[in-house]
Amino acid sequence: IADGWVYTNHGNGVNRYALASGTAGWAVLAGQDIYRIEAADADTVYVWEAVFDFGSPFPSILHALNTTDGSQRWQADVPSRIGSLAVTGDVVWLTSTGIFSQEHASDLIALDRSTGQQVRAIAYDDNIYGWTDVAFGAGKVVLTQGGSSGDPVPRQLRVLGLGGPIPAIADKVLPMGRVATAYSVQLATTSLGPVVWSIQGGALPSGLSLSAAGLISGTPTNAQSAQVTIRATGGNARFAERSFPVLVVGTPAEGWFTTGRDATRNGFEPGTGVLDLSAAPTFAFRWKTAAPGATAHGGDQDVVASGNRMYNIAWDGILRAWDTTGNTANRLPVWDETPPLADYLGPPTLAGDRLIVFDTSGPSLHAVRASDGQHLWGPTAPIQFGSGYDAPLVVGSAVFVRGLNNAIQGFSTVDGSPLWGGAVTTVTKFYWPLSSDGTRIYGEADCVLYAINVSNGAIAWQTPIAQESSGCGSVFVNQGAPLVVGGKVYASEPAARIVVNAVTGSPLLRIPGTGGSGGSSVLVGGVWVFPHNDRMAAVDSTTGALLWISKDPVGARPLVAATGDFIVVRTAFEIRGISRITGETVWEGGSLAQVGGSPAILGNRIFAVDVDGVRAFGPL
């Protein structure tokens, strides 16, 4: 309603009626897909034309019509759906958002009121919500923006005006560095004017420096982790700051790696020099093992890899070893070991020269020599645990499992004899895998993180994972083991996550509301990557700041491992790689049957179990 007239849109056009009598005035643009009248002032009515066709509206046009006769003064193309529109002085302001087409982009646009020419446009990498989320006053424009599902930008209030722009630092995660390898990263902002960069807290790893122009460069001299706060200062001395974790890795040590097979349970391999983000375009399926026998058991059948061998308990209950070198297709095992009593089951754990495995008699534990598959000892007395099979946790010469009533039980890796006098811990309901720092065992029971002394099974400390009991999700959502990295323990429940001091259990960081899809996580260079609803999320492990949420869904219970800045995600149906820096999918490895466990990394190969064998992926 404006100046005694009512403007409506029906019949896909624009109609005018006298406010006092309802007498019809002019009618224009009938059948032109006029979707909504946005605003009217003393001499102009602003209407939006839009055609919606499987995504963004196309075309999307703003028409400015004379109020006297409905003739068009001008029209302007709009990138997507108009969210809101207002006229202030000689400027027409509008917001354009892709929210209903599942896009993650929006714009604040200023048009000249007389001509419709664009005066200014600011693009955002997430949506502007709502139809009235823009306000004007005192030379300022105020809007809310961000918070889309699957996008890293949290919902926030933005204020724009004439006081000089506040730089927005575009970078969220810094790439990993390598000792003796040149490093160069140019930081960026969304500021229109020049900015000056400086370090305000912490320090970059030795050998690296930051220029005033925002270039981090140099050659790292030693492996280390650092946390540095960087400032970007723009016009009128206005500035923005961001804290970055920075990791420099050395040459990886010889040995084995696979998610969950070392005591810390952190699925990160510092890198092979081959399997990293830059090489991802060359990764592809390379070979597989010969198909195992008839399926006898389900469950997660992880691969353990070491040197030039990998080990796996196949679906027929037999433990096998394969050579990992070359590209021989449908390769046969180097050895296989038929269990002496009952089928082997569950992921094995490598402990020096032996593999520690379960069988289905009770179940019980066995040790098998890794070099030739000779059975060394077992079965132990039945363990009788009340839930699924985890990879046994090896700490020095001891192996720990979730035994009777899901309490912790220990055995010697030398001969399988029971530890702690054959007793189990007094704490029960350890439903998910265990981890260790060599002194304490860490596990979760009823949304409480426990530390158990390796030496005697006594409770060292216990800490609730969620601040309120209502923050604990279902214990039946499969969670990975706590991670132990740098003197800290990282634990997950469906509705909460926590970081604690590994010695005292004192909470250092709590992250609520992180979704209940389950699965494993990985800590890489100060970036904690974990499942969030049906996607992957990354947070700064020191500050808890959200860094990104993957745009591509991964489904329930993804299992992850990482090498360098390359994160391998095993979902229920596929294997893929995502960037630690952005969360973007950088490699699609293809479909896998809905069986198998965590991906394993060794040398220049990624291994994943399928129903018809172990598949190897990587560069040529």
Highest mean pLDDT among 79-88, 113-122, 231-240, 307-316: 113-122
The values of phi and psi at residue 421, to 5°, are: 65, 25
DSSP 29-81: -TTS-EEEEEEE-SSEEEEEEEEE-SSSEEEEEEEEEETTT--EEEEEE-SSE
Each residue of 203-248: pLDDT tens digit?
999 999 999 999 999 999 999 999 999 999 987 788 999 999 999 9
pLDDT of residue 513: 65
Q: Residue 449: what pLDDT?
A: 95
Tokens standing for 268?
Answer: 């990160």
Query: Using the 8-state DSSP alphabet, how is residue 289 labeled?
Result: B
Distance CA 266, CA 431 (A): 18
For the segment 401-413, what is each residue's pLDDT rounded down to a tens digit?
A: 988 888 999 999 9
Task: Tell me the per-residue pLDDT of 390-446, one tens digit each, with 9 for 90 and over.
Answer: 889 999 999 999 888 889 999 999 999 999 988 899 998 888 899 999 999 999 988
Is pLDDT larger for residue 272 or for residue 457? 457
Whole-number average pLDDT of the chain: 87
Higher local confidence (pLDDT), 610 or 229: 229
> Could you tell me what percent of the chain has a pLDDT over 70?
89
Distance CA 600, CA 267 (A): 9
What's the pLDDT score for residue 533?
82
State the pLDDT at residue 386. 52
Angle at 91 between CA 90 and CA 93, to 5 degrees: 160
Q: For the residues 572-600, what does the mean pLDDT come to?
A: 89
Mean pLDDT, rounded, for 110-121: 94
Rounded Cα gap, residues 574 and 583, in angstroms = 17
Picking from 620, 545, 536, 533, the residue whose alpha carbon sits closest to that of residue 578 is 536
Sheet holding 134-137: strands in order across? Answer: 134-137, 140-145, 156-161
Report the C-alpha gap between 416 and 422 in whole angstroms: 11
Tens-digit pLDDT profile for residues 269-327: 876 667 889 899 999 999 999 987 655 565 557 888 888 899 988 878 899 999 999 99
Q: What is the pLDDT of residue 150?
A: 62
At residue 511, the pLDDT reads: 85
**More confident: 504 or 293:** 504
* Residue tagged 């009217």 (tokens): 40
The contacts of residue 590 (CB under 8 Å, 6+ apart) are: 285, 574, 575
Residue 255 banded pLDDT, cuts 50, 70, 90: very low
- State residue 272's pLDDT score: 65
> What is the rounded distance in angstroms from the CA atom of residue 498 to the CA atom of residue 34?
51
List the structure tokens of 219.
């050659």
Six-digit token pair at 524? Answer: 């890489």
Q: Is there a contact between 436 and 396 (Cβ–Cβ < 8 Å)? A: no
Confidence of residue 65 (pLDDT cuts 50, 70, 90): very high
**Where does the pLDDT of residue 132 fall: very low under 50, low under 70, confident under 90, or very high at 90 and above?**
low
Q: Could you check whether the bond before residue 175 is cis, i.e. omega within 30 degrees of 0? A: no
Interior/surface letters 138-151, b for 16+ CB within 10 angstroms, e for the rest: eeebebebbebebb
